[in-house]
Amino acid sequence: MKNALEKFLKIDRRLIFLALTVLLFAPIVRPLGLPNKNLGKDVVNTYNYIEALPERSFVMLSLDYDPATRPELHPQAVALVKHALRRNLRVGIFTLNAGATGMIEDIAARIPKDIAPDKVYGRDYVIMPFQPNPVAVMTQLGINLYEIYDKDRNGNPTKDMEVMKGVKSVKDMGLGICITGTAMLDYYVAYVADKYKFPMAGGVTAVSQPGYGPYLQTGQLKGLIGGMKGAADYETLINDLEKGTSGIDALSLAHVLVIVLILTSNIIMLVLKYL
């Protein structure tokens, strides 16, 4: 028995990978439908902030994530766009990451289809082109955004668009949200939120989420959506369950597997020690 237990402690990692694969695949094929009741406080704060914005306020959505982090961050972006447009807010989609353009195309294609079919491009939302040099862009956003964003991604002049009426810089906007898998949110907090006293919220990967605790505590960030769970929480709040929620079943089983493995290895260690 001692040998068996020692073998189990040094189990081939490929068996662990196989177990994880099965547990991730099964709920995708046959969803468990687990209820998502405990919503994150910071996600709720983001939701409430948007709810409290007056109608036709301008929301800047900076989508700065690349395809690798799509499963975690794209559902957040979709949920935020849905919420903002359905609240009759004006939405400006920006990006400082060249890899995000494809996913923005995705969202752009979906808005007239299912996200908000009654909204009109140029009147209710606008999509700006990718711009390099984030620091320069952020500095300009606080002074006169038309110095950089004089045209939208299709080459149309932005200054006279109805969606941009009365908006010259972040000071004329209601909220900024940066969704990123990199440190772009830190830059936004330093160069935009703090500098121009502009309310910012964020959407980040689950692994980066704990690092933003200091910003939330000082009020530099009004809210934070973290990982796929955050996306699922937001979808629950806006009552429109989608990819974020559908991934929660798989996430749940994977977490339980990790706990079972950790507990098992420690129990085996204890047994071997006192055997």
Partner 1 sequence: MKRPPIIPLILPFLFLTSISSAAKPSPLPPLTGFTAADMPGDAGGAALLRWNAVGGAAEGATMEVYASDTARPGWVKIAEFPAAERTEKDMDLPFWAWRPAPGRHALAADTSSAFGRPDEAQEIEFKLRLVKGGASVETAPVKVVIGGNWFNVSRFNNLVLMLTIIIVFFWTVSHAKRKGLFIRRIAGLDAIDEAIGRATEMGRPIYYSTGIGPMSLVPTIASTSILGEVARKVAQYDTSLKVPHFDPIVMTVCKEVVKQSYLEMERPDSYRDDINFFVSQDQFSFAASVDAMIHREKPAACFFIGHFMAESLLLAEVGATTGAIQIAGTEQESQLPFFFTSCDYTLIGEELYAAGAYLSKDPMLMSTLKVQDFGKAFVMLAVVTGSVLLAAGAVFGWEPLMRIVGQLFKAY
Partner 2 sequence: MIFIKKHIPLFICFFVGVLTLGSYYVPNAGSENYIEMMNKWENIVAGFAFLLGLMSLFYSHFHKITRRAPGWGYSLFVYAGFLLVVVPAIVSNGQPMKGPDMTSLGWIYRFVFTSLSGTMFAVLAFYIVSTAYRAFRIKSPQAFVLFAAAFMVILGRVPLGQMMWDGALGWTGYQVTDVIEWLMSVPVVAGRRGIMIGIAIGGIVTALKIIFGIERQYMGKD
Among 207, 258, 263, 269, which residue interacts with partner 1 (rule: CB under 8 A)? 207
> Of 41 and 123, which has the nearer Cβ to partner 2?
41
Report in angstroms the alpha-carbon separations of 240 from 59, 90, 101, 246: 20, 20, 24, 11
270 is a site residue for partner 1 (CB under 8 A) = no
Q: How far apart are CA 171 and CA 217, in angstroms?
A: 23
- In sequence order, what E strands does 65-155 have? 90-94, 125-127
DSSP 36: -
Is residue 205 a contact point for partner 1 (CB under 8 A)?
Answer: yes
Among 54, 132, 155, 219, binds partner 2 (CB under 8 A): 132
| Range in contact with partner 1 (rule: CB under 8 A) among 33-41, 86-94, 104-112, 206-214 | 206-214
Q: Quick one: what does residue 144 bind among partner 2, partner 1, none, with the CB cut-off 5 to 8 Å set by partner type? A: partner 1
Q: Which of residues 62-101 bind partner 1 (CB under 8 A)?
A: 66, 68-69, 99
Answer for which of 140, 172, 261, 268 binds partner 1 (CB under 8 A) is 172
| DSSP assignment letter at 143 | T
Sign of CA dihedral 112, 113, 118, 124: negative
Site string for partner 2, 236-265 (x = CB under 8 A): ------------x--xxxxxxxxx-xx--x
Please state the closest distance from residue 27 (CB atom) to partner 2, in A. 10
Binding of residue 67 to partner 2 (CB under 8 A): yes
C-alpha distances in Å from residue 176, one per residue of 37, 171, 222, 273: 27, 10, 10, 55
Give the whole-angstrom CA distance, residue 42 versus residue 21: 31
Site string for partner 1, 117-146 (x = CB under 8 A): --------------------------xx--
DSSP assignment, residue 168?
A: S
Q: Of 208, 221, 155, 148, nearest to 182 (Cα)? A: 208
Please identify, using beta-carbon distances, which residue of 52 and 270 lies nearer to partner 2. Answer: 270
